Structure 1
């Protein structure tokens, strides 16, 4: 079994780095062959652009999706993209390790998603969700926050964590076919002291030791939706993103 840890923090002595190292050790003890993509240390380019492909399909006008699709057949991508695509496809387990910044991932990790989850490689119109490219593979978010857990409760000031994570859980990982595991959250890391951080690492270790026993999160199958791309009337919404009734803000 192969595991890929994509690490997105600029400080090599950060607590995120300690979590990365704990995951690498624990998974290796579980029999995994572990690869770490250290995006900052390896100088991964965050911004998608014309240099992502070795030969432009349309030199006159840059269209990221069209260029990714044209390059997909021969994987004619820039070296950093090709390296990460190879690592991604070799992995049975993907862990994204990052600090939550502004309710999302650092820009370098967003760039990794934009450039590596290329159209025609990680997904296309016929290969999404339960028909996705990465069916049979698992993925998990592991991240730190500056805020305590109650801030992200359903009635918390920052809103329900399930909904905050939907763009990553649903819009990236599940859409591409991954079985998505519950996230691991290290809450309020700057404020819990050395003992608190040691306890977080111990909790993370225990979690990693039991990953193979976990059931993935639920996502609707494509068959749950009608031709209008909405849930069929006989299907009850089962994710943080789908619901019935009026919107509250739009």
Structure 2
């Protein structure tokens, strides 16, 4: 299996980084091929603007949707976007690992989605290519995330509410929208306060998940 691992955390010595390394080791043990997009290490630009395109089709007003459609038809994306698209085309599975920021992606990962999951590449409403007919159909995806708060906060009736409901804007409206099959989200709760023993248990739990894919 070819896996694209999209990762967003600033600190190489963090628990998130240990999770990433654990996953990469498990994929190697499985015999899979993995490419990593470490967004902070890459200094990935999350801003969708006119610099995303080699040549603008419409120069009087900037319409990102129309420019992305045009760029997909003319191979007109900037090299950093094209490189990420090539990784997606290569991959059988996409894994997104990130700490929850305000119940969603960190800005750098949201920007990756905005710039890379473009109309004409991941979906196309003009041809009704979405959900069951999304352009990434046939590939799998999974969210892997850490929450600073305990599970009680992210449960039904909790302070924040059910984490799986909160993440539907990603799992359903983003990933499934593009045709991706979405596997159950893997969550580590209370990640900010894990003891050394609990951290080891969580890493082993994640390792076992990757090995079971």
**Same fold, TM-score > 0.5, yes or no:** yes
> Matched residue pairs, number?
211
Partner of 1:156: 158
Partner of 1:206: 208
CA distance in 2, matches of 1:150, 1:83: 40
CA distance in 2, matches of 1:151, 1:46: 29
Partner of 1:3: 3
Three-state SS of the structure 2 residue aligned to 1:196 is helix
CA distance in 2, matches of 1:28, 1:133: 28
Partner of 1:139: 141
Alignment gaps of 5+ in structure 1: 212-250
Alignment gaps of 5+ in structure 2: none
Three-state SS of the structure 1 residue aligned to 2:98 is strand
Q: CA deviation at 1:190?
A: 1.4
Partner of 1:35: 35
Partner of 2:107: 107
Superposed CA RMSD in Å reads 0.9
Partner of 1:241: none
For 1:185-224, list aligned pairs within 5 A: 185-211=187-213
CA distance in 2, matches of 1:133, 1:23: 27
Partner of 1:182: 184
CA distance in 1, matches of 2:155, 2:75: 42
> TM-score scaled to structure 2, two decimals?
0.96
For 1:4-83, list aligned pairs within 5 A: 4-83=4-83
Three-state SS of the structure 2 residue aligned to 1:98 is strand
Q: CA deviation at 1:129?
A: 0.6
Partner of 2:88: 88
CA distance in 1, matches of 2:132, 2:24: 29
Go from structure 1 to structure 2 and tell me whether the alpha carbon gap of 1:57 and 1:158 turns closer, same or farther (over 3 Å shift).
same
Q: CA deviation at 1:59?
A: 1.1
Q: Comparing both structures, which one devotes a greater share of its residues to helix?
A: 2
CA distance in 2, matches of 1:30, 1:75: 35
User: Relative contact order: is structure 1 or structure 2 higher (C-alpha 8 Å, sep ≥ 6)?
Assistant: 2
Three-state SS of the structure 1 residue aligned to 2:142 is strand
